[in-house]
Chains A and B, each alone.
Chain A
């Protein structure tokens, strides 16, 4: 589904603080599978996840999304792809404080111009799915860690993406909530969604939901393995 060819990512190129985050990575992500990028901090997982999700451009190399070359697309088209194809769940959840849970979930769909009532129904349906309907009008800063993460997941799903990308999703969750998260991923997988997770949490990469664990270290793939 997503094909990376000789991807390299350099930060602050040509400057004294130049840093190579990803070295010559070639990787193919299969559709409808759960793939985990596993590795210690600084191994390049997040950078690779950003490139896979069209959030950052590689310094060198090529990316194909379902046979479409997207490496050199202008920002506008990349945003369009990002919006329609990917749903992101961030490590810090990255919810906007001060606005309601419902508004947070609806945010990714605002630029699409979906009629308000249809959008609100869709967001409410997702909140019901995650047992958060009663919190729809609450501000996100009043939520517990588990609730905040479920809001972040609902937000990632509002545009009905094909691929779900999660960066260290269990970093701020206890064991019970981490297992619940993986159950939600299992559910998504059964719906035919492609799931990409960067994590070094054993609850994630040892889960039977996971199809493939890609081992990374120092910006390189040390084991492209299959779980």
Chain B
């Protein structure tokens, strides 16, 4: 329970597949204190008002990427957004845009996960080393090339911000392309040629029209729009350089 006399109205877009034909808004009055996040507001609803409200969460500190949702139409992490920002007005909470709703605030993430798997989001060593040869070394300058893109927590807020993904879910999308860029830019990695196939595809970076909202909503300042658009240059280079180096020299 919260020790407060302030109450805020939270509207939740409910969707219970067994009874609802389409989602409906349901309103809850939630007592709150200044240190309460939107996630805590939802937890209050679930614990004390309506146990049937479904939503995902885990860490409560903006690192697990589970609690993303639309809060007054903006994609946000509900653990990193505070109820006081909306008081005395109300807030409307809806499942992440552009994803199918599974139930209430829970969305289907299979498409994102399979795309994420597709880019091989791990280092594939350029020159495999044995244990005796020791670790893969890297200078701070080499690390700077990808560091910001490695901060992605797979929260999918950028997908909820991307109308191109909403209009055509074939688009690989901002988050996965940013992670792809992270591994391609890593000096220890040697799988760039494979990943460039995904970059160059119609559904790759060329599906982006630089709306730029993905970078705006990113809770970790990854700047996926930068990763995607820098790869438009890489993709163009890849295309033209193949005429100069027909044996794949462009991808080195």
Does chain A bind chain B? no
